[in-house]
Amino acid sequence: MSMTSEKVTDPICGMSIDPATAAATIEHDGTTYYFCSQGCADTFVANGYTGAHQAK
């Protein structure tokens, strides 16, 4: 039996990723953000917890 996980979007690069295998996660203001790489997570923090691909 395989378990499927809902995909999430990396807020920096826009990549669709599986939260279970995300390279990095950050919790901010009660929301967990998932990232494809530590570089994207570092950029998210450097940008004041905002991402290029977040809905406006």
pTM here is 0.82
Q: Which of 7-11, 18-22, 23-27, 50-54 has the lowest mean pLDDT?
A: 50-54
Q: Is the pLDDT confidence value at 13 over 60?
A: yes
Q: Compute the average pLDDT of residues 38-56.
A: 85
Q: Could you tell me the residue ranges of all domains in the chain?
A: 8-46
Q: What is the pLDDT of residues 24-44, one digit of tens each?
A: 999 999 999 999 999 999 999
Q: Is the dihedral of CA 28, 44, 21, 6 positive or negative?
A: positive
Confidence band (pLDDT; 50, 70, 90) for 3? low
Q: Cα separation of 34 and 25, whole Å? A: 5
